[in-house]
Amino acid sequence: MTTMQMFTLVAGLCLFLYGINQVTRNLQKLAGASLRHLVAKLTRTRLRGFVMGIFTAFGLQSSGAAILMLIAFANAGLISLERSIPIILGAGIGSTLTVQLLAFKIYKISSIIIVAGYVMMFLLKSRTWHYTGRVIFSFGLVFLGMAVLRDGIAPIQNNPAISAMVGFFESAPFWVAVLGFALATLFQSSTAVLGLFLTLAFAGIVDLHISLPVVIGANVGSCMIGVIGAIGGKAEAKRIVWTQLLMKTFVAIILFALLPYYQQFVQWIGGSVPRQIANAHTMFDILVAILFYPFAGKVAPFIERLFPAPPEKPESQPRYLDRSALENPLVAMGQATREIMRMGEIVQGMLADWGKVFFSNDPELLRQLIARDDIVDNLQEAITDFLTQINMDELDEDTASLSVALLHITFEL
């Protein structure tokens, strides 16, 4: 491999990973607020939650982003584990639709997609159309990255080192699954990993036999973004990520044990090798849903017993504020609203007790009132600090006004 070939491969990989990242970021800005409102409202039944999970993960191009949204809701006390499970199952399926899209040979028209996205970004003034253009442009970068990778791989296709590596992969499916897990954890996306293997499949370097363990490992590895996001969060948030991890690990063990039958079934459905890889990915998450959707009501109590809730924080400390939610301004403001309501309840109790102190002159009750006043001061400081850290540049006018209103309410209390 020459130095230029190596740089071509690295450049293609960088374009591909950057494009995946930008697609997710721009879709969050385009549809994130609407999806967060819908998730909060339309998850009261199991079926609605499942369908919402599919749309949320596809809309954000990431099951990890959907799980992080659920973590933020759970930390704010807005959603229970039982209501979260159908969303988790739907999000797994929704995230596979991107890989289905990548399995088409759209990389051949990547330049057209990039130009179309660029024109929309700079000629259309509407915020919605601007971010739609950004999404299209980012998808163009993803497909361009795939094209560059494929062109960079072509000259080294028959390299002895590549042949030796492929031979090792064929004989060591367990280590290939570990590789898929590690890459998905590193990239924080199973889509990125499977997109790379789709590119290798387009180039004729890997087949379905090698790719299936990657599908299994990447599906489990994609859960790690949620595990990391739940660090320092509430018990309910940790239960959500562990539920996802345990469900996917259970199915991964089953499919790995039945790997030859898994491969035969995928091949029986048919299609090119890249399409078979995408289908295998979708089948994995469909199987997770089939096995666990009917038992969502049973899974939740089991997980709650495995991960019991810790003692509540002292009254003087914030109970609903989670700094990881600052990346999702609407969720962060929902948390602040819950904390302000709790502070308001404390103030309401103080007002009721002031009358008793005035007429009874009870020194013990007076000390309790002074202590609660200190608690309110601490909460006001914490809420104010939390609200001022929300990135106002990402908010529309109405949401920014709501943030300012919450600050005023905090000061008045």
- 254-266: pLDDT as tens digits: 999 999 999 999 9
pLDDT at 296: 83
Q: Report residue 10 CA to chain centroid gap.
A: 26
55 contact partners, CB below 8 Å, separation of at least 6: 35, 38, 90, 94
Stretches where the chain sits below pLDDT 70 are 1-2, 24, 27-44, 58-65, 72, 75-78, 154-158, 229-233, 309-316, 324-325, 327-328, 330-331, 357-358, 391-399, 413
Q: Give every CB contact of residue 338 below 8 A, 6+ residues apart in sequence.
A: 76, 77, 78, 320
| DSSP string for residues in 271-301 | --HHHHHHHHHHHHHHHHHHHHGGGHHHHHH
What domains, with CATH codes, occur in the chain? Answer: 3-155+167-306 (no CATH), 323-412 (1.20.58)
Q: What is the pLDDT of residue 258?
A: 94
pLDDT of residue 141: 85
DSSP string, 229-283: HTTT--HHHHHHHHHHHHHHHHHHHHHHHTHHHHHHHHHHH---HHHHHHHHHHH
pLDDT at 255: 94
Which residues, other chains included, contact 296 with Cβ-Cβ below 8 Å and sequence gap of 6+?
A: 46, 82, 85, 86, 89
pLDDT for 37 equals: 59
State pLDDT tens for residues 6-18. Answer: 787 788 888 878 8
C-beta neighbour count of 204 within 10 angstroms = 12
Cβ neighbours around 161 below 10 Å, total: 9
| Structural tokens at position 3 | 């130095």
Confidence (pLDDT) at 61 = 60
Rounded to 5°, the CA angle 144-137-196 comes to 35
